Amino acid sequence: MAVQAEPQYFTKARRAGRIVVDDPPKLDLDAYIANYRGRTRFDRLLLIGLSSSYLYLEALKAAISEAKQGTDVQRYENAVMYLRDIAPSDADAKPDLDWIDRTKKQVKSATDKMELELKGYKNNLIKESIRMGYDDLGHHYHRIGELSKSNKAYSQMRDFCTTNSHIVIMNMHLINVCIDQHSWFAAQNHVQRIRGQSGSQKYPEAEKNSAKLSAASGLTYMAQAKYKEAAEEFLSANPRMSQAKLDDPADEESYNEILTPNDIAVYGGLCALASMTREELQKQVLDNPGFRNYLELEPHIRRAISYFVSSKYSACLSILDSYKADYLLDIYLQRHIPQLYYDIRSKAIQQYFIPFSCVTFSALATAFNTDEPTIEFELNQMIKRGNLDARLDLVDRVLLARKVDSRSEVHAEALATAEEYERTAHLRLLRIGILNAGLEVKVPKGLGNAGSGSSQDGGRWNGGVGDLLEGQGMRSGAAFK
């Protein structure tokens, strides 16, 4: 929803260095958010509301409506507060105090009931009942936004898990909670625990969740800016998730409480473009039969990768730029888009420059759809960061490749090899002379076989001649003088 006057909130956000998206995204908000379920729906709506000067009102009102359908009072109050800051005259900017009081009472009643039931299970010492009690309590805390308590409840299930499937279920719950907490290292640890189990003993639960594990692991690596590892995880995701029915909560292949198959295609494609060579992109992405199912959901990502592999860098970057507004409104991608786009563009410039000894700024600006001052600044930054081995000629306005004198390198390597050969020959001749003269250093009595010598060679020192000379402060050449 377009507005004429931009709220002061976004002006202040820009001054504070936060990301504000002015361009209208390609996504339809209702269709986009319908692909998700659970807490991520509110998180995504709130991020869009706080980042898009075009969709902020629609997104924030939808976030308030979403919060009122749940039981997390704090989320509702936060959404209302943000809407009041941005659009104080809107009807939804006033909190519904009746709903808040009613929901708090319901939450307290449900919490007390579950804790009382769990206490009874513990008194009866029935492990399965205790496990299920902690499971229900963890779900409850997760829904009301008590993520630390949810994590603790799920962790306490461990002592009451009697089968491998129980362990997998527990760790999957913990992965989801850790992702909501942005505890990326903890989430990765739980992923490895499930994979460790499945590596030693195959069982259906671990195999059934393999796509979710790859997605969660890729998300944790991407959050840590480890884009190569993230790409490898997303690319290895089982293609079964690409067929999941997002509107069916009972579909076990669906993982839309965290992300969708479309997200896997976008995250995997961008991370691969930023971290892989053209050969790797062709082999591991375009020729990957499993990931092809995901790329079919986001054909523009497949086209961008194909253009990059075909050295059509301008077309690749043009596609990515057209979707940049959408990606800046993604809850997990937003803070990584500047770095990902920089890495992709830097790689494109590097690959473009490889066949040339020099390229004019004007040619580069034309090839990458920009002006000369901008491309000059980019080249300067790339050279400073060590991403481009070249020099800038600001007089003739050309980019020059650094000349490597191959002949000098070969000569230097040959001389170093000859010196090492001469040193080795001197040491061997010296050893022969010492042995012929009977000047071996004998091992002192009492050391027995502790040294390198043995009783069979009369206790003589058989260590390396280099060690002997270095111990006496001698150089090999001095022995011949």
Asked whether residue 455 is domain-assigned, the answer is yes
Per-residue model confidence as pLDDT tens digits over 82-99: 999 998 888 888 999 999
| Contact present, 215 and 259 (Cβ < 8 Å) | yes
3-state secondary structure of 86: helix
Asked whether residue 218 is domain-assigned, the answer is no
Mean pLDDT of the chain: 85
54-58, 180-184, 383-387, 454-458, range with the lowest pLDDT: 454-458
Question: Whole-angstrom Cα distance, residue 397 to residue 376?
Answer: 9
Picking from 332, 299, 336, 329, the residue whose alpha carbon sits closest to that of residue 24 is 329
Structural domain total, the chain: 3
Same domain assignment for residues 418 and 446: yes
- Tell me how far the alpha carbon of residue 349 is from its chain's centroid: 24
Same domain assignment for residues 6 and 76: yes
Length of the chain counted residue by residue: 481
Same domain assignment for residues 17 and 67: yes
Considering 148-152, 365-369, 393-397, the range whose residues carry the highest mean pLDDT is 148-152
- CA 316, 318, 321, 323 dihedral sign is negative
Per-residue model confidence as pLDDT tens digits over 117-142: 998 888 888 888 999 999 999 999 99
pLDDT category at 319 given cuts 50, 70, 90 is very high
Question: Whole-angstrom Cα distance, residue 453 to residue 447?
Answer: 10
Picking from 57, 10, 55, the residue whose alpha carbon sits closest to that of residue 29 is 55
Q: 467: domain range?
A: 407-480
Asked whether residue 152 is domain-assigned, the answer is no
Q: How many CB atoms lie within 10 A of CB 476?
A: 19
Same domain assignment for residues 9 and 70: yes
Which of 376, 401, 426 corresponds to the end of one domain? 401
Per-residue model confidence as pLDDT tens digits over 163-193: 888 899 999 999 999 999 999 999 999 999 8
Asked whether residue 25 is domain-assigned, the answer is yes
pLDDT above 60: residue 479: no
400 or 424: whose pLDDT is higher? 424
pLDDT above 90: residue 450: no
Quote the pLDDT of residue 349. 86
pLDDT above 50: residue 475: no
pLDDT above 50: residue 455: no
Quote the pLDDT of residue 200. 47
Asked whether residue 19 is domain-assigned, the answer is yes
pLDDT category at 74 given cuts 50, 70, 90 is very high
pLDDT category at 3 given cuts 50, 70, 90 is very low
Question: Whole-angstrom Cα distance, residue 254 to residue 244?
Answer: 5
Cross-strand bridge partners of residue 393: 398
What mean pLDDT do residues 51-74 have? 94
